[in-house]
C-alpha cells in the first residue's frame, strides 16, 4: 500500500510547508503541498478561485486532491489549514492513521504564526482583521486538529532544522492504541523522544502535576520536569525509594499527605517516571487520590515498558504478598522513551527480556524468533552505545510487539477475570521466588525461572513434550536469564503459591502451555507433579 510517510496539518502560519520540505529533505523523501497541488489542478491561484466560486466549491476541490494524494503519494504531504475541517478529509485521515500513518499537528506559538500568516498574504480566510480571524479559526480548528492527529509537535522557539528533526523523531515512534470495555482509550508511544508528548497527553485541565520518580532516574526526571514547566504546569517533585521498597503503604501515605498539603484537586494529575514499581505506585496514588485523577506513565526500564506501565494494574505490596492491594485504573497515556534505556545497567535491561519472552511464549512466536536471532547482542546490551547501535530498532520492535500482546489480553479483559490471566505465565512461582528472596531477585529473572517451572508442570501433566521444556531453558539462558533457583523450601513456596490471585479457594491454578502461542489453565495439579517440577528447577 502506498501512502505518505507523514501528513502535516496545522494553522495558517504554522510553517507546514517550510518544515515539511525540511523534513522531506532530511529523510530523502519527496514533498507535496496540497495548496500548490490544488492550484496546479485548478489552473489558477486559490484567492482567485475562492473569489469566483466560493468556499464550498473550493473545499470540494481540496477534498478530492487530499484524498487522492493520501492514497498514492509516498512522501511528506502538507495540508492547507482548513482541509481537516472537511468530514471526508477527516475520514481519510482517520483511515490513514489507522493503517500506521503519522498525522503531525504543528502547534506553533500563536504570535509567531499570526505574524507569518500576515506576511504571507493571499489568505482569503483572513480577510478583514487578520489576527482576530486567526484566533477565531484556531478556536474552531484546534480540537479537530487534535482529534485527527496522532503526533503533536510544538515548535515555539525552535529553528526549522530543529523542528524538522523533532518531527522525524516523532514519526519514528511506534504507537499502540489501547481500547476495550471499561477502558478510556489511550496510546502507548514507543520511541526516542517520546517524553515530549507529556503536555499533550496531560491536556489543558491540570494545573498541578505530581512527578513521582526514583533518584536513580534523576536525569530523565529533570527532562520531564523541564518539559512540564515549559508547558505551564506547576510541578511537585516527589522522590520515592528504588524498586519494590517504594511500593509500600507508607510511601503511598507520604504522597497522599503531600498532595493534600499542596492542594491537589480532582482536575490535577500524576506522572509516574521510573521502573515498574514506580509506575505501579504512581498509578495507585492516582487511582486513590480523590477517587481518581489523571495520570501518565513514563517507564524508564525495559521491564516497565513491556509490562507494568500498560494495562491499568496499579498496586502496592504488603508483607503477605506482592500486589495484593491495588486497583484497575488506566492511564491517560504511556510514553516509552527509548532514550531512558541509554542509562540502564545491563542486568536491569536483561531482566526485562523475561517478560518479552513470556509474551512470545503465550501469543507471538515472532518475538521468540527475534530473541533467538539477536540473543548475543541483547545479552551484551550496553546503554552507552545503544541509541546509535543496530540494536535500537530491534529493541523498539520487541517492545511494540510485547505491548501489543499485553493490549490484546487487556482490551478483552481489563479486570483479569479470564483471558488476561494468561499474561501471568511464569508468575505464580515467580512471585513466590520474589517473596522468599525478600525482593532481592528482580521480577523478570523470577518470571524466567517461573516459566521453566510452568513448562515442567505442563510436561508432567502430558500437555507438552520435553523439547519445549528444553527450548525454554536454552532460549532464556541465551539471553542471560536464570532458569533455576535454589533458595527456600518447597513447603514455603507452596504456601505462597496458594496466595496467588489466580488460586481458587484451596485449589492451585497455574497458567501453562499446551504449545507455543497457546496458554491454558492447569487447575489443581497433583501434589506429586508440583513437587517434581519444583525439584526440576533447583540449581
In order, the DSSP letters of 45-92 are -HHHHHHHHHHHHHHHHHHHHHHHHHTT--SEEEPPTTGGGSHHHHHH
Cell 505462597 locates to 496
The reply to whether 416 belongs to the active site is yes
List 32, 102, 401, 431, catalytic entry: 431
CA 535 – CA 449 distance, rounded (Å): 12
List 22, 37, 192, 355, catalytic entry: 355
CA 216 – CA 275 distance, rounded (Å): 10
425 touches 513 (CB < 8 A): yes
Helix axes 427-436 and 443-460, enclosed angle (nearest 10): 130
CA 148 – CA 133 distance, rounded (Å): 22
The reply to whether 420 belongs to the active site is yes
74: how many CB neighbours lie within 10 A of its CB? 12
The per-residue pLDDT for 316 is 83
Strand, helix or coil for residue 196: helix
The CATH H-level (homologous superfamily) assignment of domain 416-536 is Dehydroquinate synthase-like - alpha domain (1.20.1090.10)
The per-residue pLDDT for 315 is 85
Q: What are phi and psi of 190, to 5 degrees?
A: -125, 115
In angstroms, the Cα distances linking 345 to 44, 66, 205, 403 are 61, 48, 37, 22
The per-type count for the chain, helices as H runs and strands as E runs, is: 22, 16
The per-residue pLDDT for 174 is 87
Residue 242 marked ligand-binding: yes
Could you read off the pLDDT tens digit of each residue along the chain, which spans 539 residues?
A: 789 999 999 998 889 999 999 999 999 999 999 999 999 998 988 888 888 888 889 899 999 999 999 999 999 999 999 999 999 999 999 999 888 899 999 998 888 888 877 765 556 666 667 778 888 889 999 999 999 998 888 888 889 999 998 898 888 888 888 888 778 889 999 999 899 899 989 988 899 999 999 988 999 999 999 999 998 999 999 999 887 787 888 999 999 999 999 999 999 999 999 988 899 999 999 999 999 999 999 999 999 999 877 777 888 888 877 777 888 888 999 999 999 999 999 999 999 999 999 999 999 999 999 999 999 999 999 999 999 999 999 999 999 999 999 988 888 766 666 787 899 999 999 999 998 998 889 999 999 999 999 999 999 999 999 999 999 999 999 999 999 999 888 999 999 998 766 665 578 889 999 999 999 999 989 999 999 999 999 97
Q: Write the CB contacts of 152 (distance below 8 Å, at least 6 apart in sequence).
A: 104, 105, 107, 146, 197, 200
List 37, 351, 416, 434, catalytic entry: 416
Residue 245 marked ligand-binding: yes
List 291, 417, 438, 504, catalytic entry: 291
The reply to whether 291 belongs to the active site is yes
Task: Answer yes or no: same fold for 174-344 and 416-536.
Answer: no
The four Cα atoms 366, 394, 379, 434 give a dihedral, to 10 degrees, of: -70
190 touches 310 (CB < 8 A): no
E strand or H helix that includes residue 26? helix 16-27
The CATH H-level (homologous superfamily) assignment of domain 6-171 is P-loop containing nucleotide triphosphate hydrolases (3.40.50.300)
Residue 18 marked ligand-binding: yes
List 401, 406, 409, 459, catalytic entry: 406
The per-residue pLDDT for 51 is 84
List 297, 317, 323, 424, catalytic entry: 424
Strand segments, DSSP code E, in 150-266 are 151-154, 174-180, 183-191, 208-214, 234-240
Residue 298 marked ligand-binding: no
The per-residue pLDDT for 320 is 76
The per-residue pLDDT for 411 is 81
The reply to whether 431 belongs to the active site is yes
Residue 343 marked ligand-binding: yes
Q: What is the DSSP letter of 486?
A: -
The reply to whether 177 belongs to the active site is no
pLDDT in tens, 414-432: 666 678 789 999 999 999 9
Residue 223 marked ligand-binding: no
Strand, helix or coil for residue 337: strand
List 401, 420, 460, 509, catalytic entry: 420
pLDDT in tens, 238-286: 999 887 787 888 999 999 999 999 999 999 999 999 988 899 999 999 9
| Extents of the domains making up the chain | 6-171, 174-344, 416-536
C-alpha cell at 116: 507569518
Residue 123 marked ligand-binding: yes
Residue 301 marked ligand-binding: yes
174-344 folds as Rossmann fold (3.40.50)
Residue 280 marked ligand-binding: yes
Q: What are phi and psi of 417, to 5 degrees?
A: -110, 0
Q: What is the DSSP letter of 421?
A: G
CA 383 – CA 340 distance, rounded (Å): 9
The reply to whether 313 belongs to the active site is yes
Q: What are phi and psi of 44, to 5 degrees?
A: -160, 165
Rounded to a whole number of angstroms, the CA Rg of the chain reads 26
Amino acid at each position: 500500500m502506498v501512502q505518505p510517510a507523514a501528513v502535516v496539518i496545522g494553522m495558517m502560519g504554522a510553517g507546514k510547508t517550510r518544515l515539511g520540505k525540511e523534513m522531506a529533505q532530511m529523510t530523502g523523501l519527496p514533498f507535496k503541498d496540497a495548496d500548490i497541488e490544488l492550484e496546479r489542478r485548478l489552473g489558477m491561484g486559490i484567492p482567485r478561485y475562492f473569489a469566483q466560486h466560493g468556499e464550498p466549491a473550493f473545499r470540494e476541490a481540496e477534498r478530492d486532491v487530499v484524498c487522492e494524494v493520501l492514497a498514492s503519494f509516498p512522501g511528506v504531504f502538507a495540508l492547507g489549514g482548513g482541509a481537516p475541517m472537511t468530514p471526508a478529509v477527516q475520514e481519510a485521515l482517520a483511515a490513514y492513521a489507522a493503517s500506521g500513518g503519522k498525522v503531525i499537528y504543528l502547534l506553533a506559538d500563536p504570535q509567531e504564526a499570526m505574524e507569518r500568516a500576515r506576511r504571507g498574504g493571499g489568505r482569503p480566510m483572513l480577510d478583514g482583521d487578520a489576527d482576530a480571524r486567526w484566533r477565531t479559526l484556531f478556536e474552531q480548528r484546534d480540537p479537530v486538529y487534535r482529534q485527527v492527529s496522532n503526533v503533536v509537535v510544538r515548535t515555539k522557539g525552535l529553528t526549522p532544522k530543529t523542528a524538522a528533526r523533532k518531527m522525524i523523531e516523532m514519526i519514528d515512534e511506534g504507537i499502540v492504541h489501547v481500547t476495550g470495555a471499561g477502558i478510556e482509550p489511550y496510546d502507548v508511544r514507543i520511541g526516542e523522544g517520546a517524553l515530549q508528548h507529556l503536555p499533550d497527553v496531560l491536556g489543558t485541565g491540570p494545573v498541578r502535576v505530581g512527578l513521582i520518580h526514583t533518584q536513580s532516574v534523576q536525569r530523565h526526571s529533570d527532562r520531564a520536569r523541564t518539559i512540564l514547566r515549559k508547558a505551564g504546569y506547576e510541578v511537585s517533585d516527589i522522590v520515592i525509594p528504588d524498586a519494590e521498597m517504594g511500593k509500600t503503604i507508607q510511601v503511598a501515605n507520604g504522597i497522599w499527605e503531600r498532595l493534600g498539603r499542596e492542594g491537589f484537586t480532582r482536575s490535577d494529575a500524576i506522572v509516574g517516571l521510573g521502573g515498574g514499581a514506580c509506575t505501579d505506585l504512581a498509578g495507585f496514588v492516582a487511582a486513590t487520590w480523590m477517587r481518581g485523577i489523571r495520570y501518565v506513565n513514563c517507564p524508564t526500564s525495559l521491564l516497565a515498558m513491556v509490562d507494568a506501565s500498560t494495562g491499568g494494574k496499579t498496586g502496592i505490596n504488603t508483607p503477605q504478598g506482592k500486589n495484593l492491594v491495588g486497583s484497575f485504573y488506566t492511564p491517560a497515556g504511556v510514553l516509552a522513551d527509548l532514550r531512558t534505556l541509554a542509562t540502564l545497567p545491563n542486568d536491569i535491561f536483561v531482566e526485562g527480556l523475561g517478560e518479552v519472552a513470556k509474551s512470545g511464549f503465550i501469543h507471538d512466536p515472532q518475538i521468540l524468533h527475534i530473541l533467538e536471532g539477536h540473543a548475543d547482542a541483547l545479552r551484551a546490551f550496553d546503554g552507552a552505545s545503544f541509541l546509535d547501535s543496530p540494536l535500537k530498532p530491534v529493541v523498539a520492535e520487541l517492545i511494540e510487539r510485547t505491548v501489543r500482546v499485553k493490549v490484546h489480553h487487556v482490551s478483552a479483559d481489563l479486570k483479569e477475570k479470564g483471558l488476561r490471566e494468561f499474561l501471568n505465565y511464569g508468575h505464580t512461582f515467580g512471585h513466590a521466588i520474589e517473596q522468599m528472596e525478600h525482593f532481592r531477585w528482580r521480577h523478570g529473572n523470577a518470571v524466567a525461572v517461573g516459566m521453566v517451572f510452568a513448562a515442567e508442570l505442563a510436561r508432567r501433566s502430558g500437555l507438552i513434550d520435553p523439547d519445549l521444556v528444553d527450548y525454554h531453558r536454552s532460549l532464556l539462558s541465551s539471553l542471560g536469564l536464570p532458569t533455576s533457583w535454589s533458595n527456600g523450601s518447597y513447603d514455603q513456596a507452596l504456601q505462597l503459591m496458594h496466595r496467588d490471585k489466580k488460586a481458587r479457594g484451596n485449589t492451585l491454578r497455574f497458567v501453562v502451555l499446551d504449545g507455543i502461542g497457546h496458554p491454558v489453565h492447569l487447575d489443581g495439579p497433583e501434589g506429586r507433579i508440583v513437587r517434581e517440577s519444583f525439584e526440576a528447577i533447583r540449581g
